[in-house]
Amino acid sequence: MSTLNPKILAVPQGQDACGIYRIVNPAQLMQLADMPVTVMPSHDFGPAGLYDVAYTQRMATEKSLIAMKGIKDRTGIKLIVDFDDLVWDYQGYGLPEYNIAKTRIDTKGNREALLKYGNDVFDKVTCTNEYLKKAISEFVDPKKIYVLPNRLPVKEWLFDTATSIPADDIFFFAGSITHYDPVNKKPGDFSNGWVNYLKNKKVAVMGKAPYFVNNPVAEYPYCHLNSYAHNFYNYARRSKFIIAPLADNIFNKCKSPLKLLECAAVGRVCLCSDFEDSPYRELAHEYQKVPVDATAQTIEYIVERAKKHYGEILQHQYDVLKDYWLDNHIEEYKQILK
């Protein structure tokens, strides 16, 4: 394999959010930087014999690991796998009960498979944060693990952030229903404080409104990530605050502060949950943090304070985002993929 200019096969797990953010966007920018990168459809390792390195994601099932071992033995290709979520049991904890993905991800089986095959099959691993790196270190040598935070490509997220702020207090939520259980009525990442606070507030959502939101002012349709940035900008700009609630659990500690970055790009203040090892703790302004155990009254106080310091928080968010433009970090990806 040429270490100077390896031929890279980029294979996303899916053409949805994580696949595009974690694999497709970096691969496209590396192509612009004259790296020989080919992006394949999901799960397609057919041309592996023509490449030096495969870059894929969330390979955790025994079936996929055994299949990949066979591909490596047959072709000699090196494998780099990315994880942006905890999809195996860690410290006795898997996916939260309220997360509907729990029904289709065997986290216990994944853990057993990764412990058995992970270190041998994976030549390198990339992940979103240090907490997730610690979890991966149970089955992969830490020297093989690299933290690559979620970042935003300039061509999709460099918006005008200077327009006026809406007068009405409208709260926008753009998370999927993995954040709460609409069937069994579990608020999930929405704490009791958030549930009680939002009952009588103006709330807009992308997708269907959570069951505890009374009379949402808007329910914008979900969209593919190819059009997400543009739609998020248009929808979010009609609200004053974007909310990013997370429960205090191991699964969420492995997540990234992506919503904070997206809010910075569209010029709206993000109100984000705060707890030990929260993905937002180190990056968020103190006045936008909502303690995970905050009551509705405390949230009311935080919102009023945030309104008074809105411009200051916006500037802080944008200062953070300056370090998270994907285009400025392609060399980092190139070094790991060599």
Same domain, 162 and 118: no
Amino acid at site 77: I
Distance CA 241, CA 86 (A): 28
Q: Look up residue 70 and give its DSSP letter.
A: H
The last residue of one of the domains, among 148, 167, 188, is: 148
Distances (CA, A) of 151 to 156, 236, 260: 11, 19, 11
How big, in percent rounded to 5, are the helix, strand and coil portions of the chain?
40, 15, 40
SS3 186: strand
- Specify the number of domains making up the chain: 2
Residue 1 is assigned to a structural domain of this protein: no
Together in a domain, 201 and 81: no
- Same domain for 137 and 31, yes or no, is yes
If asked whether residues 196 and 248 sit together in one domain, one would say yes
Do 179 and 294 share a domain, yes or no?
A: yes
Among 132, 148, 164, the domain boundary falls at 148
- How many Å from the N-terminal Cα to the C-terminal Cα in the chain? 9
- State the pLDDT at residue 178: 92
- Torsion angle defined by CA atoms of residues 123, 51, 40 and 43, in that order, rounded to the nearest 10 degrees: -50
Does one domain contain both 313 and 230? yes
- Would you give the DSSP letter of residue 100? G
Residue 278 lies in a domain: yes
Q: Render each residue's pLDDT in the chain as its tens digit; 338 residues.
A: 445 679 999 999 877 678 889 999 999 999 888 889 999 998 899 999 999 999 999 999 999 999 999 999 999 999 999 999 999 999 999 999 999 989 899 999 999 999 999 999 999 999 999 999 999 999 999 999 999 999 999 999 999 887 788 899 999 999 888 999 999 999 999 999 999 999 989 999 999 899 999 889 999 998 888 899 999 999 999 999 999 999 999 999 999 999 999 999 999 999 999 999 999 999 999 999 999 999 999 999 999 999 999 999 999 999 999 999 999 999 999 999 88
Q: Which of 105, 123, 148 is the last residue of a domain?
A: 148
Domain ranges, residue 168: 154-321
Residues 40 and 106 in one domain: yes
**Tell me, what CATH number does 46's domain have?**
3.40.50
Radius of gyration of the chain from its Cα atoms, rounded to whole angstroms? 21
Q: Give the Å distances, CA to CA, from 326 to 21, 230, 291, 307.
A: 10, 17, 30, 30
Task: With respect to residue 52, please indicate whether it lies within any of the assigned structural domains.
Answer: yes
In a domain, 331, yes or no: no
Query: Do the Cβ atoms of 10 and 47 come closer than 8 Å?
Result: no
Provide the residue type at 156 as one letter: E
Q: Are residues 160 and 255 in the same domain?
A: yes
Q: Quick one: 159 and 308 in the same domain?
A: yes
Give the model's pLDDT for residue 291: 98
Residue 216 near residue 209, CB atoms below 8 Å: yes
Q: Tell me, yes or no, whether 104 and 243 share the same domain.
A: no
Q: Is residue 328 situated within a structural domain? A: no
192 in any annotated domain: yes
Are residue 49 and residue 142 in the same domain, yes or no? yes
What CATH code is carried by the domain that includes residue 315? 3.40.50.2000
